[in-house]
Structures are given as C-alpha cells and as structure tokens.
Amino acid sequence: MTDYVNAFVSMLNGMSPYLLLGFLIAGLLHAFVPSSIYSRYLAGTGLRSVAMAAAFGIPLPLCSCGVLPTSVALRRSGASRAASTSFLIATPQTGVDSIAATFSMMGLPFAILRPVAALITSLFGGLAVGHWERKGSLDEVQDGISYELSELPKGIWNKILETFKYGFFDMMQSIGRWLLIGLVVATLITVLLPNDFFSTYARWPLLNMFIIVLVAVPMYVCATGSIPIAAALMLKGMSPGCALVLLMAGPAANMASMFVVNKAFGRKATIVYLFSIVGGAMAFGVLVDYLPGMREIFINALPHHIMQHGMHATWLNNVCSIALLGMIVVALERTYYKSYLIKRKNNSAMKEFKVKGMMCVHCQANVEKGLASLPGVEKVTVDLAKGTALVEGNVTDQAVIEKINELGYQYES
C-alpha cells in the first residue's frame, strides 16, 4: 500500500502547481477574452484564417466534447468550415493547463512538441477542408444544431469572480473525474507493471503506435488526464513516440465527437478531421522515435520526481496538492449530490430519457439547452452522473429523442 500512496502523491505533487496555474489562466481567457473575437478573424479559407483558428484554439482548455459546441458556434458566427475544422483539431490536444502539466510530468521537449504538433496537424486539416470548401465540393449539411457563443460578464469584479468560478470549479467539474482516473491508472501502472514491460516490444514501435491509436481514438480521455498515463507508460519502457501518439490521439477524438463532426461539418470534413489527428500523431511519433538522438532527448528530459516515488516535496507542492484534491472532491460532490437531489425531487410529470455520450458539464449544458428549445418543453434537468435527461412539458417522446440525436448524443431505450 505504501508504494501505491507514494506513487500517487509523487505524481500529484509534480502536477498540482502547474495545473492550478493553468486553471487560473484558463479562467482569465474565459472571463476576459470575448468569444466573438474568434469568428471575426476566421471567415477565410486560406492559411491566415486556418492558422489563427489553431492559434486561438491551442491555449483553450476544452476537451474533445467540450470543443464541439464552440466550433459549431464559430461556424454559425461566420467562421469558415476550414477555420472551424482547424480549431476543432488543435484545441482538445492542448490547453494551458495540460501544457503546464506536460512540462511538470514529462519535461520541456514534450511541452514544446505537443502544441507544435497540434498546430501543424490542425493546419493540414484546415487547409485540406479549405481546398474543398473553395471548390464547393464539401457536403451540404443541415444539422439542426444551434449552439451559441457565451457572453462575457460585465464589470471587473464579475469578471474576476467568473475567472475563479470557471477556472477552479466549472473546469474541475469537466475534467476532475478524468484527471483522478488518469492519476489512479498511472499509479497502478507504476507499481504493478515490471520496469522492462515494454522493452520486449521496443523493436516494433510502429506496431505499438498503431495499437495505441486503436485504443485511444474510440475512448474518451482529456488532454490533462492522459499525461500521468503516458508518463507512467514511458517509465515502463514505452517509447517517447508512442507516448506522444497517446497524448495527441486520445484527447482529440472519440466516437461521440466524430458523430457530431459528421453532422455539423459533413462526411469529407470528418474524414479529414480523423486522418489529420491519427496521421499527425503517427508522423510525429515516428519522428521522435526514429530521428537520431530524439528518443534520448525526450527520455532524459523526464523530470526527476516521476523517476522516484519518494520525492522531497516543498510546502508549495503540498499546499497545491491539497487544494487540487479538495477541488476534485467538491466537483465530484456537486456532480453526484446533484444526481441524488434530482432523484429525490423527480415527479411523475417529468419523463426520463437515457442519453449516451455525455462526458462533461459542456455536454450537460448542450443537452439542457437543446431540449429546452423544443416547443412545449417547460423544464429540463440533466443528470450527468446517471446520463439521463428529465423533461417536463407538452412534448412528444419522439421529438425529444430526435433532438438528443441531433445534438450528437444517443438515446438509449
């Protein structure tokens, strides 16, 4: 048991100061940078608009499902499909919180290459979609999805309050569970797997990358939650290139997001989206593993504290770790206690619908807003923990089910 605790605490102490800083910056971006500024510069299909979309998206702390409503809203606010696709590819791979955490757990080379790789893959995908967009050969899409960009709070004190609310509470509700799962999985990998576990397969790094893609693309893992898992696997002998594939492919795509992209952007754009993520991840993974001297640079840059479980933590590490754990506990309590309250307050007038594919509070908000827009709906309550939506009003079950599917989620009978 001591080994498990030491491994968990070591990784938590290494990440917590950087994560808290990243959450603060994320809150500042959310509260002080107007969303409308994005669509203002993203109307074209050329390199400038595509590059600006990627540059806007890289620092934003949005996961692969949270980025979907933002990208669709950008599209509806005047951004081209090329720029929206670029934003969609770049954003979930990075974020100020995950870049900071990558530096703390995996070293400077990974922290630099990760956003660079996200930028290049998003440029490729955006320009490819832009080429088809100019030729008019993209699918005509009537998706029915009606996301809107959020407005900034008014007044400096409201902005400051929104900074802390979004950065330390709303974001934690979105990624807290996945961050905790990532730390637990990394702890189990660190303690249970032999140190030479991957050395047997080191001769076939391409095969390893292909297997990681097959596992990472369908599942859901956020950009921050994937970091401790990748770091732990590297300590067990997995190559840096394979770790980079996990960091790029895991957060950027999952089955739910691909379904929404297909409905909102069309089949060709979805193919480009998926090919850019998978192809880009594999290409950069090969570059890291096969370019002379690169593998050694990434391995030698692994921070000392993840090499030894019993690191000497400073008071700052301890305070930040306690604060981070407290935020995770509060986020989980808010999520699951709300589920308990919903269950207690439920009445026979509300119909329950099971919704598959909701991963975070962004998904919860999308479903609530979408169902509330239906004619006749009086009240909507979405239980994220249970994956259900309670709907009250004069509306047919079929209309609710169709709306759930339109939003990119799946109704389960």
Summarised one tens digit per residue, pLDDT across range 135-184 is 666 655 544 444 455 566 778 888 888 888 888 887 777 677 777 877 78
Per-residue confidence (pLDDT) for residue 144, from 0 to 100: 47
Question: Do 312 and 367 reside in the same domain of the chain?
Answer: no
Question: Do 309 and 352 reside in the same domain of the chain?
Answer: no
Mean pLDDT value across residues 293-320: 73
Query: For residue 349, what are its two tokens?
Result: 């007038």
3-state secondary structure of 216: helix
Per-residue confidence (pLDDT) for residue 98, from 0 to 100: 81
Strands 410-412 and 377-383, sheet pairing: unpaired
Question: Do 273 and 378 reside in the same domain of the chain?
Answer: no
What's the DSSP call for residue 92? G
Reply yes or no on whether the pLDDT at 218 is more than 60. yes
Question: Do 379 and 297 reside in the same domain of the chain?
Answer: no
3-state secondary structure of 79: coil
Is residue 164 assigned to a domain? yes
Bridge partners (DSSP) listed for residue 126: none
Q: Name the band, by pLDDT with cuts 50, 70 and 90, for residue 310.
A: very low
What pLDDT digit, counting tens, does each position of 19-42 carry? 787 778 777 777 877 766 665 666
d(CA 237, CA 234): 5
As a residue count, the chain comes to: 413
CATH no. for residue 355?
Answer: 3.30.70.100
More confident residue, 413 or 88: 88
Question: Do 193 and 242 reside in the same domain of the chain?
Answer: yes
Is residue 400 assigned to a domain? yes
For the ranges 11-20, 88-97, 109-118, which has the lowest average pLDDT? 11-20
Per-residue confidence (pLDDT) for residue 404, from 0 to 100: 82
* Angstrom distances, CA of residue 266 to CA of 86, 123, 367: 15, 18, 21
Reply yes or no on whether the pLDDT at 123 is more than 70. yes
| Contact of 282 with 242, CB cutoff 8 Å | no
Is residue 336 assigned to a domain? no
Query: For residue 1, what are its two tokens?
Result: 């048991």
d(CA 405, CA 389): 13
d(CA 70, CA 77): 10
The dihedral of CA 38, 39, 41, 43: what is its sign? positive
Question: Do 71 and 123 reside in the same domain of the chain?
Answer: yes
d(CA 145, CA 147): 6
Of the three residues 323, 338, 367, the one that is the final residue of a domain is 323
Is residue 334 assigned to a domain? no
Per-residue confidence (pLDDT) for residue 348, from 0 to 100: 58
Look up tokens 């757990």; give the residue: 105
Per-residue confidence (pLDDT) for residue 179, from 0 to 100: 74
d(CA 268, CA 86): 14
What's the DSSP call for residue 46? S
Reply yes or no on whether the pLDDT at 102 is more than 80. yes
Question: Do 219 and 280 reside in the same domain of the chain?
Answer: yes
Question: Do 400 and 290 reside in the same domain of the chain?
Answer: no
d(CA 158, CA 208): 49
More confident residue, 283 or 69: 283
Per-residue confidence (pLDDT) for residue 172, from 0 to 100: 78
Per-residue confidence (pLDDT) for residue 120, from 0 to 100: 92
Reply yes or no on whether the pLDDT at 357 is more than 60. yes
Average pLDDT of the chain to the nearest whole number: 77
For the ranges 297-306, 342-351, 382-391, which has the lowest average pLDDT? 342-351
Per-residue confidence (pLDDT) for residue 19, from 0 to 100: 74
Reply yes or no on whether the pLDDT at 65 is more than 70. no
Bridge partners (DSSP) listed for residue 393: 377
Quick count: other Cβ atoms within 10 Å of Cβ 131? 15
Mean pLDDT value across residues 86-104: 82
What's the DSSP call for residue 91? G
Number of domains forming the structure of the chain: 2
Question: Do 37 and 157 reside in the same domain of the chain?
Answer: yes
Range from 123-127, 271-275, 337-341, 354-358 that averages highest in pLDDT: 123-127
List Cβ<8 Å contacts ≥24 apart for 194-200.
194/236, 195/235, 195/236, 195/237, 196/236, 196/237, 197/236, 197/237, 198/233, 198/236, 198/237, 198/238, 198/239, 199/237
Question: Do 253 and 364 reside in the same domain of the chain?
Answer: no
Reply yes or no on whether the pLDDT at 288 is more than 60. yes
More confident residue, 214 or 22: 214
DSSP string, 291-342: STTHHHHHHHTS-GGGT-SS----HHHHHHHHHHHHHHHHHHHHHHHHHHHH
Reply yes or no on whether the pLDDT at 259 is more than 80. no
Query: For residue 291, what are its two tokens?
Result: 């370019």
Reply yes or no on whether the pLDDT at 360 is more than 80. no
Question: Do 315 and 176 reside in the same domain of the chain?
Answer: yes
Per-residue confidence (pLDDT) for residue 256, from 0 to 100: 60
Q: Name the band, by pLDDT with cuts 50, 70 and 90, for residue 337.
A: low
Question: Do 174 and 278 reside in the same domain of the chain?
Answer: yes
More confident residue, 218 or 383: 383
Mean pLDDT value across residues 240-257: 79
Is residue 335 assigned to a domain? no
Reply yes or no on whether the pLDDT at 401 is more than 50. yes
Mean pLDDT value across residues 364-385: 81
Per-residue confidence (pLDDT) for residue 284, from 0 to 100: 93
Which residues constitute the domain of residue 47?
Answer: 2-323
Q: At what angle do helices 240-252 and 267-290 cross, to 10 degrees?
A: 160
**Going edge to edge, which strands form the sheet with 377-383?**
377-383, 388-393, 351-356, 410-412
> Hey, what's the torsion of the CAs at 329, 190, 211, 57, to 10 degrees?
40
Per-residue confidence (pLDDT) for residue 252, from 0 to 100: 74
